[in-house]
Every structure is written in C-alpha cells, then in structure tokens.
Amino acid sequence: MDQPPGGGMDIALVHWSFPPSVGGVESHLWDYSRLLARRGNRVTVLTGTPGAQCPGQPGVEVLTHPALDLARLDPGPDDARRLTRWFSEVLLQRGIRLVHCHNLHHFSAAPAQALEALRTPLRLALCHTYHSIWGDPGRGESVLTADRWDRHYAVSEFLRTACADVLGVRAERTYLGIDTAPYARVAPLDVAPQPGTVLLPARLIPDKGALLAVRALDLIVRCGMCVSRPRLLLTDTRQTVDFHGEKIGFRERVEKEIEKRDLESYVEFVEAGVDQMPDLYAESTVVVYPSLFDEPMGLAPLEAMCAARPVVVTRMGGLDEGVDNDGVIGYLVPDRDEEQLAARLAELLDDRETGRLMGLRGRAHVTGHFDLRKIYLKRMQDEYRALLAGRGGAPAGPDGASAVRAGTGTRAGV
C-alpha cells in the first residue's frame, strides 16, 4: 500500500466494541482515531461490534470480526486461530506494524494470543491501555503476557496502582483527555431563572448511580430544597457495552423506583449517541456522576466541565483526578451519601451564577490539562514512531510468507 501522506504512520487500534455501541473506551477511540487521521496517519480500527460505524474522517477505516464480538465470544483455540489469520491478513495488506490495543486483558485471551503469535514474524510493536480492571488485589485476571508487550498504559494514577496491586502489571499513568472542540463550543450556563435540569451522562447500569440520583431528586422535591422545578435526565442508549449483563432488567428497577416516589413527571430517559453529548450538556443546568464503584477516571465529567457545566461527582476511584479542586471546578461528595448529593445539586439548580462561574473554571481546567490533542495525541505519536524505529525492516508473514487469507471480517466504509 502507499505510504500515508506527510510522514504519517499506519496504525491499528483494537477494541471489543466501537460506535454505535456507546461507552467510555468507544468514545475515546472514536475521537482518537479521527485526530490521528487528521495528523496524516492512516488508522484501521479492528473491533467486534456488528454494524460498526465509521467516524467519517478520511484516513480512518473500521473492520469487524465476530471473534471480537463480546456477545458471541468463544474463548477457545478456534477464536485465537481465526484472529491470527485475520490480523495477519489485515496488518500485512496495510503495512501496519504498530498495534495499540484497549482493554484486551479480560473476557478472552484470543486477541492477545493472536497478536503475540504475530509479534515476532510481523515485527509488531504492541501497546496496551488499561481503561478498567476487575478483581481483588492479588486475584485479578489478565490474559496479556505483560513482559512481551512494548508499552502498558493506565488511564489514571488510581488505575496505575490498581494494575500493579490487582494484576501485577506495571503500567504507566497516561491521562487520555477528551476532544475539547465540540464541548468548548457549548454556550456557558444561562443564569436566568428557569426550571433546572440535572443530567446523568452514563450507561444505565447499577454501578453508575442512577438509583442514587433518583433518591437525591426525591429529597430535593419532597423537602423543597430548591425553588426551581428540577428535572433529571438519564441516558439510556440501547446499543452500549454491557460486559456482564448489568443492563438486563435495570431500567425496570429504576422505573419502579421513580413510580414508587411519584417522580414520573420529573424524570426522563434520553438516547445519547457518541456525537450527541454536547447537545445534552447544553440542555443541562448541572451534571451529576454519582458512581457507586471505583471509576478508573471518568471522561464524562471532563466533557461536562468542558461544556462549562458544574459537576457533582462521588469520591470514587480516579474521579477526583479530573475534578481535583472541590468547590472550585466541581463538587465531590462521599460514596452513597444521597443527602449531600441532593444538597449540592439543589444549590447549583438555584444558584445559577455559582454554577456558571464553576462551569467556566471547569472549562479552563479541562482545556488546560485534559485536551486530547495537547496531552495525549502528540505524546502517543512520538512513542509510536520510537517503537517503529526500534523494530526496523518490513514485516514478513507468519511463516515468512505473505498474508494468510481468512475472509471472515467485514468493513465499515472509509
């Protein structure tokens, strides 16, 4: 294949899912693939989401394979063999030697095994980013062979420590940041008196705190904690990452809680696609992120702050690495403390000037410290180039031959 223009690189990004499936990793890769391509690189996203979309950026192509589809995993040797053949074909045909994988340390060993099998014959540089982990200290599970991959990244200091304690993996803390451009265009908060809207921009699963948000709303309404009439928006995107079947039946639980507290007229469920979030932030008065588990980092609060909206988040995991100045750029509340959560939300629903100033400080904080272009893109490109320079030479096939044809993948247009 022709070389990318302007000295760019051929890069593969690998993850189980991709939009229209919505989640933190998916949103990151959607933005990151576009930014890489705009810098003259040619990006191939390898994923398992049926009907995966293409970001619409020249230089990005999305290919899918059923052995990466979480809904139909067969974590046996057949998947590893199928993926080895497919990866070999795709990487050789496209001249790709830099493969950056995301969250391949769980669910099935097949993708990691396939890439490890191709690492030496194809002279691959392999990077991996840990966006989350599962397990208790010393009992974690990882399917990666840590000492054979070139770089291991963790998305926060909290996760870097957890990778060492739970998985025994030494990863480098590397903040991702967000593509600030679409959020920085959202108008600052209007201080005119009007009904207030609380937005919870997360997957509708138990650990994201939707039930806690409903109970906090109930306190605000029942106790008359604010003058303006509050509304709670819960995002419920049908196609989303659901690693452990957590979505099953959960919306019904939330709806029953809303009905029990007579809050039907105060709560609305909304769809939220990967490029629709700026509009939802623009509609909100305050953004809540009441996670009940140790969040690895939390990109949604960064998006909200960049959209100049005040945020109220729980002190869980790495959330306070983004919202690191309590009371200045956002509010941090204790885990499961619905009374304090309600009090902070009520304050920001009524005091729009405080919310406006907090939102503007949050925007400056994110654009200064968590801009995907500034803090992540250049650094990763430099690391990719260094790794490729260390590999040298053109890749051979798995047995010194050309690509092994598999024919089982599909593509989502350029």
Amino acid present at 192: A
What phi, psi does 318 have (nearest 5°)? -95, 10
Q: What is the pLDDT along the chain (414 residues), one digit of tens a residue?
A: 445 655 799 999 999 999 998 888 999 999 999 999 999 999 999 999 999 999 989 999 999 999 999 888 766 678 889 999 999 999 999 999 999 999 998 888 889 989 999 999 999 999 999 999 876 554 445 666 656 799 999 999 999 999 998 888 899 999 999 999 999 999 999 988 788 999 999 989 899 999 999 999 999 999 999 998 999 999 987 666 655 666 678 999 999 999 999 999 999 999 887 788 999 999 999 999 999 999 999 999 999 999 999 999 999 999 999 999 889 999 999 999 999 999 999 999 999 999 999 999 999 999 999 999 999 999 999 999 999 998 875 554 444 344 333 445 666 543
**What is the rounded distance in angstroms from the CA atom of residue 99 to the CA atom of residue 391?**
13
Q: What string of DSSP letters covers 330-392?
A: BEEE-TT-HHHHHHHHHHHHH-HHHHHHHHHHHHHHHHHH-BIIIIIIHHHHHHHHHHHHHH-
**What is the rounded distance in angstroms from the CA atom of residue 259 to the CA atom of residue 159?**
37
CATH architecture of 5-177+372-412: 3-Layer(aba) Sandwich (3.40)
Q: What string of DSSP letters covers 200-265?
A: E-S-SSGGGTHHHHHHHHHHHHHTT--SSPEEEEEE--SSB--TTSTTTTHHHHHHHHHHHTT-TT
pLDDT at 405: 39
H, E, C per residue of 108-175: CCHHHHHHHHHHCCCCCEEEEEECCCCCCCCCCCCCCCHHHCCEEEECCHHHHHHHHHHHCCCCEECC
Handedness of CA 224, 225, 231, 237 (dihedral sign): negative
- What 3-state DSSP class applies to 6? helix
The helix (H) or strand (E) run that includes residue 187 is none
pLDDT at 138: 47
pLDDT at 319: 94
| pTM given for the model | 0.89
**What is the rounded distance in angstroms from the CA atom of residue 188 to the CA atom of residue 92?**
48
Q: How many residues does the chain have?
A: 414
**What is the rounded distance in angstroms from the CA atom of residue 332 to the CA atom of residue 85?**
48
Report how many helices (DSSP H) and strands (DSSP E) the chain contains, helices first. 13, 14
Closest by CA to 90, choosing from 14, 38, 36, is: 14
On the question of a cis peptide bond just before residue 20, with omega within 30 degrees of 0, the verdict is: yes
For residues 62 and 206, the answer to whether their CB atoms sit within 8 Å is no
Ordered by start, the domain boundaries in the chain are 5-177+372-412, 181-369
**What is the rounded distance in angstroms from the CA atom of residue 180 to the CA atom of residue 319?**
18
Amino acid present at 170: R
DSSP 8-state assignment for residue 107: S
CATH 3.40.50.2000 at 181-369, yes or no: yes
Q: Which two tokens stand for residue 391?
A: 């590999």
In sequence order, the 6+-apart residues with CB closer than 8 A to the CB of 22 are 203, 237, 239, 240, 241, 272, 273, 274
**What is the rounded distance in angstroms from the CA atom of residue 288 to the CA atom of residue 232?**
10
**What is the rounded distance in angstroms from the CA atom of residue 148 to the CA atom of residue 63?**
25
List 17's β-bridge partners, or say none: none
pLDDT at 275: 81
In sequence order, the 6+-apart residues with CB closer than 8 A to the CB of 56 are none
SS3 content of the chain, % helix, strand, coil (to 5): 40, 15, 45
For residues 232 and 266, the answer to whether their CB atoms sit within 8 Å is yes
